Amino acid sequence: MQEVSSITEPHTSGSRWFMTTEDKVTLSCLILAMHTHWEEISVMDERNTPMRSYQVCNVMEANQNNWLRTRHIPRDGAQRVYIEIKFTLRDCNSLPGVPGTCKETFNMYYYESNNPNLWFIKESQYVKIDTIAADESFTQTDVGDRVMKLNTEVRDISNLSKKGFYLAFQDVGACIALVSLRVFYKKCPTAVLNLAQFPDTVTGGDSALVEVRGSCVNDSEEFEAPRMYCSADGGWLVPIGRCVCKPGFEESKDYCQPCRPGTYKASSMDGYCSKCPPHSYSHQEKASECECEKGFYRADMDPRSMACTRPPSVPENPISTLNDTSVTLEWSPPRDSGGRGDVTYNIHCRKCPGDGRKCSPCGSGVHFLPRQFGLSMAKVLVSDLLSNTNYTFSIEAVNGVSDLSPTLKQQVTVNITTGQTVSVILKERKSKDSITLAWQGPDRPNGAIVEYEVIYYEKNQRDQNYTVLKTKSNVMTVEGLKPGTTYVFRVRARTDGGYGSYGGEIELETSHEGELPPASSCSEGISKIFMLSLMVSTFTCCRHCGYIKAKQDPDEEKMQFQHGRVKLPGSRTYIHPHTYEDPNQAVRDFAKEIDASSIRIERVIGAGEFGEVCSGRLKLPSKREIYVAIKSLKAGYSEKQRRDFLSEASIMGQFDHPNIIRLEGVVTRCKPVMIITEYMENGSLDTFLKKHDGQFTIIQLVGMMRGIASGMKYLSDMNYVHRDLAARNILVNSNLVCKVSDFGLSRVLEDDPEAAYTTRGGKIPIRWTAPEAIAYRKFTSASDVWSYGIVMWEVMSYGERPYWEMSNQDVIKAIDEGYRLPAPMDCPVVLHQLMLDCWEKSRSERPKFGQIVNTLDKLIRNPNSLKELGNLTDFSKLLSFRVVWCEMAHCRETYQCRFLISLQWW
């Protein structure tokens, strides 16, 4: 409530009558008419200050009717007006000898009028406001002291409607002194609420509320029309609606202040100015948006609060897996997503026919699954490719701001050559129980043919019984056939990239009993020439054709499939170099001697037990130049060291599998003695994984593990026990193909820095080795499976050290007590389960490598099965003993910590 108008203190001291002190109030009241007996006199107030008053005190006479009236008081829009009077009133009893007509009250009236100049108002025209009595009247004594007690009374008149009014005081026989008269009305003061300004508002009459519309303060705008009610008491009630600061301004108390440089406010609905998001700035005040730094952008749909972003870097580690005329491309996400989560991939395809015609876009004949552009997964299947054609796939990563950047999108390219259809001349020589086939390799081989596979079966008997033969040679004699029987033959070739499809079928009949075989020799005896279509799948990036070993028989494998089950009658077995009386003979048998002049050493890439490991190039006559790794035997070696060094070559030379490091040959006839192997661009798997921590998709990781398992299956099928399978002994090439390496005979004892002496004297890489191998040196393929489980764990944890910093003794103890490594972070449950299977205490219960390959193949075919993550939940299932949560601050991560603590618990 606020009094806004008063008629109180006079300008000059001495009078409180009808003077206006506040400019905005124009109520000017002056006593206009004085009837008989009212006098204007000076008296002293309570503090003995002199003041003017109007007095009447005609108590000795009866029938008094003395009037005192004000001038016209303009209403000024007020409907209700308050009148405060201060007066003194003499107690009749204190007046000696006054008659009974003496009064102790007086009356107050008003008269509303538009006319400010009325000189005369009839008594009957007045409206009575009240009869005023004194709360305190004063007595003789007071008078004697000249101290008067002031009474204050307030009355109001409402529902005024004319321009103004007159007030009048009627004395009917009292002794009164009117000291002050204040006439005022109330109004609701200017107010700012919810950023809306409400003007001074005069209150309504009686108890009516006055609705007032507010106006938004500077730099603000209406969110909802602001309104308030001004109450009769002069108070604001019920605020409704509000204003909000415009973009670029923020609320500060009752006004909107500009956002400072470096901050912005994008929408009026945002509360306050915020710091410019990363990679953006605002140099001026009042910014509603921050500008992006050079090279950074904001997509249309990006909220202004989002950091400015940039196009992603190029996708990495592309791998292609070719299968006839379709190829699966996989890659790792770009190292830099540009700061956005909407990275997608586009594949651009160009084809170059092998016949020298110009390259052109692939056109609509090629199909992409799930699509060619806007791929969200880092994988695509491209099908319906033309055969015998070079394709270049450019994979680009794009995000929501790629189109805003003027720079060209970075692409990684993958070149592939689709299966090459070649004509194969099939030669045939037959007897009653054998047929000799010979075929010519592809005219223009695009890569190394690892082997040919010949499948045959009795005509119309395929479902019952068929036989698969493998050979590196292109001549094969199939024996043990029935006389006079027609067999169906088909041939396909295998390269590093896998098998091509079978070519057409050829039907050949063995001679009947008694029928003479043709007299001509195999080479002359071409009785028929068949044209056979043979699909050879190769990658253009793959190596040149492998050499054909001098001995042919061991290269030929025979597997008989009966009702889908595999028999391996002719399966090859690894020959331990020590079984040779002369170890040099083993080298001669299994490794090709290379002329040192065809080797160019380029740089050192590692250190082996016997000397440096270098990379370089090998150019053999009539072969393409290829990159190779060159291990050399350091000078001053003993004969034993030379034997041990070369034993790796005689072991490696017996293997031929896409997931086993391939021996190119040896240099033994001059010094230094060298072992030449294929070059693996990405070096050893453990270092590679650490370098690319978290960068591969689960499928890529499973692909790596699958490769290793496949190599190990091959080794175990050959009865070779590796004994030191670990990520450090796996090499990775540029296509992410993993190959098992490190076949030295002495390596487990000497070479491996992880190897430690056991109580029985042998040196063993404890963390990777199965308990029975540690305890009593029982090394088998099953102990390799245990190591394989550890390699899986290394892969899934991106090269973490198994059992972290635990001592070897603690590892042995923990394993013995049944503890097993928990699932690495984000490791699918199925993979951890497979690891656990590999770590079965009883070695017969561990899976075989063949089963592991099958399991991983299934997972790759059904990636949904990889979605459930092991992480912490597995832990409790895993252990039969109590798990204690980590509370140790120094623990590096929860798994490790829980692991260590559970051990301590024990």
Question: Which residues does the annotation place in the binding site for ATP?
Answer: 605-613, 631
Positive or negative: CA dihedral 600, 606, 610, 611: positive
481: contact with ligand AMP by CB under 6 A = no
DSSP 452-494: EEEEEEETT-TTTEEEEEEESSSEEEE-SPPTT-EEEEEEEEE
Interatomic CA distance for residues 749 and 208, integer angstroms: 104
**Site for ligand AMP contains 749 (CB under 6 A):** no
Give the shortest CB-805-to-ligand AMP separation in angstroms.
22
**Across the strands, what pairs with 281?**
291
Please state the closest distance from residue 743 (CB atom) to ligand AMP, in A: 9
Between 323 and 787, name the residue whose CB sits nearer to ligand AMP.
787
Residue spans of beta strands (DSSP E) within 145-265:
151-157, 164-171, 175-184, 187-188, 191-193, 196-198, 201-202, 210-213, 215-216, 220-230, 236-245, 249-252, 255-258, 263-264
Cβ closer to ligand AMP: 10 or 672?
672
Query: Smallest distance, Å, CB 610 to ligand AMP?
Result: 8
User: Is 111:67 a contact under the CB 8 Å cutoff?
Assistant: no
**Is 688 near ligand AMP (CB under 6 A)?**
no
- What is the token pair recorded at 760? 């029985």
Nearer to ligand AMP, 346 or 684 (CB): 684
Using rule CB under 6 A, residue 676 touches ligand AMP: no
Give per-residue burial for 303-331: e unless 16+ CB within 10 Å, then b: ebebbbbbbbbbbbbbbbbbbbbbbbbbb
**Nearer of residues 169 and 720 to ligand AMP, judged by Cβ:** 720
In three-state form (DSSP H/G/I as H, E/B as E, the rest C), the secondary structure along 203-216 is CCCCCCCEEEECEE
Identify the residue among 55, 220, 684, 797 touching ligand AMP (CB under 6 A): 684
As measured in angstroms, the least distance from the Cβ of 683 to ligand AMP is 4
> Rule CB under 6 A: which of 704-733 touch ligand AMP?
731
Residue 594 parent element (H or E): none
Binding-site positions read 605-613, 631
- Rounded Cα gap, residues 139 and 580, in angstroms: 147
Which of 679, 798, 895, 899 is the binder for ligand AMP (CB under 6 A)?
A: 679
Q: Which of residues 577-606 bind ligand AMP (CB under 6 A)?
A: 605-606
CB-CB contact of 742 with 726 (8 Å): no
The answer to whether the beta carbons of residues 309 and 303 sit under 8 Å apart is no
Taking CB under 6 A as the binding criterion, the range among 12-20, 431-439, 481-489, 676-684 that sits at the site for ligand AMP is 676-684
- Regarding 632 and contact with ligand AMP (CB under 6 A), the answer is no
Please tell me the distance from the alpha carbon of residue 417 to that of residue 654, in angstroms, as a whole number.
Answer: 29
Q: Which residue among 399, 677, 769, 896 contacts ligand AMP (CB under 6 A)? A: 677
Q: Which two tokens stand for residue 437?
A: 């086939």
- Smaller CB separation from ligand AMP, 453 or 754: 754
- Residue 629 interacts with ligand AMP (CB under 6 A): yes or no: yes
Nearest to 631 by CA among 682, 595, 667, 589: 667
Q: How many residues bind ligand AMP (CB under 6 A)?
A: 14
In the stretch 645-664, what mask flags binding to ligand AMP with x, by CB under 6 A?
----------------x---
Among the residue ranges 262-270, 289-297, 328-336, 680-688, the one whose residues contact ligand AMP (CB under 6 A): 680-688
Nearer to ligand AMP, 378 or 661 (CB): 661
Q: Which is nearer to ligand AMP, 180 or 684 (CB)?
A: 684
**Least Å from the CB of residue 370 to ligand AMP:** 36
CB of 731 to ligand AMP, least distance (A): 5
Q: Which residue has the tokens 């008053």?
A: 53
Nearer Cβ to ligand AMP (208/613): 613
To 10 degrees, what angle do helices 849-861 and 698-717 make? 150
Signed CA dihedral, 431, 432, 434, 438: sign only = positive
Taking contact as CB under 6 A, which single stretch among the options 153-161, 351-359, 444-452, 672-680 is the one that binds ligand AMP? 672-680
- Single residue of 613, 749, 883, 891 touching ligand AMP by CB under 6 A: 613
Examine residue 626 and tell whether it contacts ligand AMP (CB under 6 A). Answer: no
Amino acid at 496: D
Q: Is 724 a catalytic residue?
A: yes
Rg value, the chain, Cα: 53
Examine residue 680 and tell whether it contacts ligand AMP (CB under 6 A). yes
Q: Is 683 in the site for ligand AMP (CB under 6 A)?
A: yes
What is the strand order of the sheet 220-230 is part of? 210-213, 220-230, 236-245
Which of 496, 656, 724, 752 is catalytic? The answer is 724
Q: Cα–Cα distance between 567 and 467 in angstroms, integer?
A: 10
Using the contact rule CB under 6 A, the part of the chain among 203-211, 678-686, 767-775, 864-872 near ligand AMP is 678-686
Answer yes or no whether residue 742 interacts with ligand AMP by CB under 6 A: yes
Q: Is 799 in the site for ligand AMP (CB under 6 A)?
A: no
Residue (98 or 613) nearer to ligand AMP, CB: 613
Residues with active-site annotation: 724
Q: Which residues of the chain form contacts with ligand AMP (CB under 6 A)?
A: 605-606, 608, 613, 629, 661, 677, 679-680, 683-684, 731, 741-742
